[in-house]
């Protein structure tokens, strides 16, 4: 088991958002999280990486209880995080953005620039260009590359297709698929783009109002109407 979250509760000053959320991700899997706007998908990802504390429940990463560990400790253990909206530093260059991704893990994890350039060769040519001048799709790839550079075992991806041209969305899906197949990268991905979800995920959890309301297997995931039912009101 790569990741196991049991009975997670978390939220904000305004109250709890997640209610007893339990999910598992096995090594080598790509697992999706579905749900319409505001149901708690990002809250779940922030709780898993440690930017929000769990108010109840337990998070286990590779046999280790990480529930009380800080986000940077979890990152050093091998959890990568690509936030919704990507969090690219638009005034820093592509190279600086990549090194920022590595900084947090620099003490214990090596930075694999070769890996990043192998999968995203365009970044090598744009190392001195400012992050903010890249297209939406290129920024999405830079954000993934920034997480990959410290060679995580598990990647948490929060809506990578957000703000990306439809023609590039498929390309992002292909990258995730190749990274999973070639590097054995385990992925938990939040996504509302059905095509992208169907391209990459083996199964998914559907969230509604902070609760897991369904576990969706591969067959159901390929049923576009079924998936759409979790995304519509
Ligand atoms: N910083 C915050 N403080 C208070 N409430 C918040 C905060 N961030 C999110 N919320 C609320 O928590 C709920 C869940 O938000 P969350 O961002 O997890 O949803 P989401 O499923 O990721 O939505 P989206 O698809 O729009 O990204 C929403 O009602 C939202 O308004
Ligand atoms: Mg969100």
Q: Which residue out of 17, 35, 84, 158 has the highest number of ligand 1 atoms within 8 Å of its CB and is therefore the one to mutate?
A: 17
CB 227 within 8 A of CB 35: no
Using one digit for the tens of pLDDT, what is the confidence trace for 43-66? 999 999 999 999 999 999 999 999
Angle at which helices 94-103 and 136-148 cross, to 10°:
30
Choosing from 12, 33, 156, 197 the residue with most ligand 1 atoms within 8 A of its CB, the one to mutate for a pocket test is 12
The larger pLDDT score, comparing residue 87 to residue 102, is at 87
Q: Which atom of ligand 1 approaches the CA of 46 most closely?
A: 18
Question: What is the mean predicted confidence (pLDDT) over 110-134?
Answer: 92
Give me the residue label for tokens 């390929």.
222
Instruction: Report in angstroms the alpha-carbon separations of 58 from 4, 10, 27, 175, 220.
Output: 8, 11, 19, 31, 28
Residue 204, strand partner residues: 32, 216
**Ligand closest to CA 39:** 1
How far, in Å, from the CA of 209 to the mean position of ligand 1?
A: 10
In the reported structure, the alpha carbon of residue 190 is separated from the centroid of ligand 2 by a whole-number distance in angstroms of 8
Is the per-residue pLDDT at 10 higher than 90?
yes
- Residue 105 above 70 pLDDT? no
Mean pLDDT for the chain? 94
Domain boundaries, the chain: 3-231
**Under DSSP, is residue 172 helix (H, G, I), strand (E, B) or coil?**
helix
How far does the centroid of ligand 2 lie from the alpha carbon of residue 18, in Å?
13
**Residues contacting ligand 1 via CB (< 6 Å):** 12, 14, 17, 35, 37-43, 84
Could you give the angle at which helices 136-148 and 166-183 cross, rounded to 10 degrees?
Answer: 20
Q: How remote is the CA of residue 25 from the centroid of ligand 2, in Å?
A: 19
pLDDT at 5: 98
What CATH number does domain 3-231 carry, 3.40.50.1390, 3.40.640.10, 3.40.50.300, 3.40.50.2300? 3.40.50.300
Q: What is the pLDDT of residue 65?
A: 98
Distance CA 208, CA 72 (A): 29
The tens digit of pLDDT for each residue in 63-92 reads 999 999 999 999 999 999 999 999 899 999
The arithmetic mean of pLDDT across residues 138-164, rounded, is: 94
* Distance in angstroms (rounded) separating the CA atoms of residues 16 and 43: 10
**193 phi and psi, to 5 degrees?**
-85, 115
Mean pLDDT of 32-36: 97
- Residue 201: the pLDDT is 98
Atom of ligand 1 nearest to the CA of 14: 4
Strand 186-190 with 203-208, pairing:
unpaired
167: pLDDT confidence band, cut at 50, 70 and 90? confident
């Amino acid at each position: 088991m790569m990741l196991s979250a049991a009975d997670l509760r978390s939220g904000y000053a305004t109250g709890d958002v997640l209610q007893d959320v339990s999910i598992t991700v096995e090594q080598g899997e790509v697992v999706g999280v579905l749900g319409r706007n505001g149901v708690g998908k990002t809250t779940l990802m922030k709780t898993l990486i440690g930017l929000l504390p769990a108010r109840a429940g337990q998070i286990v990463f590779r046999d280790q209880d990480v529930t009380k560990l800080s986000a940077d400790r979890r990152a050093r253990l091998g959890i990568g995080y690509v936030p919704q909206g990507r969090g690219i530093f638009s005034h820093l260059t592509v190279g600086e953005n990549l090194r920022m991704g590595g900084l947090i893990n620099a003490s214990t994890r090596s930075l694999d620039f070769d890996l990043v350039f192998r999968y995203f060769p365009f970044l090598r040519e744009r190392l001195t260009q400012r992050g903010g001048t890249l297209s939406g799709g290129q920024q999405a790839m830079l954000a993934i590359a920034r997480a990959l550079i410290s060679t995580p075992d598990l990647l948490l991806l929060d809506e990578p297709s957000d703000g990306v041209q439809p023609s590039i969305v498929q390309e992002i899906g292909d990258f995730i698929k190749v990274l999973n197949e070639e590097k054995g990268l385990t992925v938990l991905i939040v996504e509302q783009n059905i095509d992208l979800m169907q391209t990459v995920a083996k199964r998914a959890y559907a969230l509604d109002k902070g609760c897991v309301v369904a576990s969706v297997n591969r067959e159901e995931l390929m049923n576009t109407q079924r998936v759409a039912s979790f995304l519509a009101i």
